[in-house]
Amino acid sequence: MIIQIFLTFSFILAVQADWDGKILNVRTKQNIPRLELLTDLSLNNIIVIGEKHYTKEVQVEEGKIISDVVAFTNKENDFSLFWEFLNASSQNKTQSLFKQVMAHEVSVADFLIKTQGSAKAVIYSPMIEATANLGGQIFGGNLSRDEKAPVVSGGLAALDPKLLPPNFKLGGANYLERFTEVMRGHATPEQIINYFAAQSLVDDAIAYHLYQDSKTSLNFLVIGAFHSMYSDGVVARLKERDSHSKIVNIEIIDCSDYTTQEIEGLYLNDKYGDRADFIVFVNEPQPTLSLISGSSFE
């Protein structure tokens, strides 16, 4: 009898579908319906939304979260949106333009182009439209690029003292460790220290201005996710600046950046803890390339 062995190798693209729209309660590690998310969010007065910049599906979800929470809590005309891309020093210009948006004298697209200097920013229309349509206010708490530039090159000592938030604090050890890992290979150790000072300055300036400027009972903060991951950065500063505030931390994750296995590892970290309180997923994971081998005997 002749034995023939056939080894066949086939590459199969395996995709875990239906991630788009999933909501994870990170604390319980359970998927939850949107109504449960809104119920939990309604118990807080500051909702931090960590985002991936310039990603259409992420920005659409930001608009939905603002609209849904405001409607659920009946906070029309009693909420504020703070956005990382708006500066405190430009607040008068921002307020003036937004009033024109509310009066239908300036379009949302023009508001974004004029405040950001680029048509690329129009991708953020959903959250601006939601804020305008529901009678919200909009604020900037960040420092401008020019205001932060001296810190990047010369450290905090080079900053104009008037721009340093009262009771400023650098981010903690875990935050610095994660920041250093991300920046390794892109900057010298000395530069990383300055960059981290600038990162911490953004966190604390925004936290300070949120409490200083907002007079509404509900506040949304939209910011790059690294500023809010693991409740470090801006979340830590918000909590320390007012221990009585009720703060919830959401991250919107673009699944198309990861495989299914990578996504499942994102929110399980033994060292740093929970990545956020809740994660909202958009898009689907990358295909997973699998190697299947088979044999046949005759």
CATH 3.30.420.40 applies to domain 17-288? no
Mind listing the pLDDT tens digit of every residue in the chain (298 residues)? 433 433 333 333 444 458 999 999 999 999 999 999 999 999 999 999 999 999 999 999 999 999 999 999 999 999 999 999 999 999 999 999 999 999 999 999 999 999 999 999 999 999 999 999 999 999 999 999 999 999 999 999 999 999 999 999 999 999 999 999 999 999 999 999 999 999 999 999 999 999 999 999 999 999 999 999 999 999 999 999 999 999 999 999 999 999 998 998 888 778 999 999 999 999 999 987 644 333 332 3
Taking every pair of Cα atoms in the chain, the longest distance, rounded to a whole number of angstroms, is 90
Q: Which residue has the tokens 């405040």?
A: 115
Which of 143, 208, 140, 141 lies closest to 169, judged by CA? 208
What does the pLDDT read at residue 287? 87
What are the phi and psi torsion angles at 151 (to 5°)?
-70, -40
How far is the CA of 252 from the CAs of 143, 222, 258, 266, in angstroms? 24, 10, 13, 12
What does the pLDDT read at residue 6? 34
What are the phi and psi torsion angles at 237 (to 5°)?
-70, -40
Domain boundaries, the chain: 17-288
What does the pLDDT read at residue 17? 58
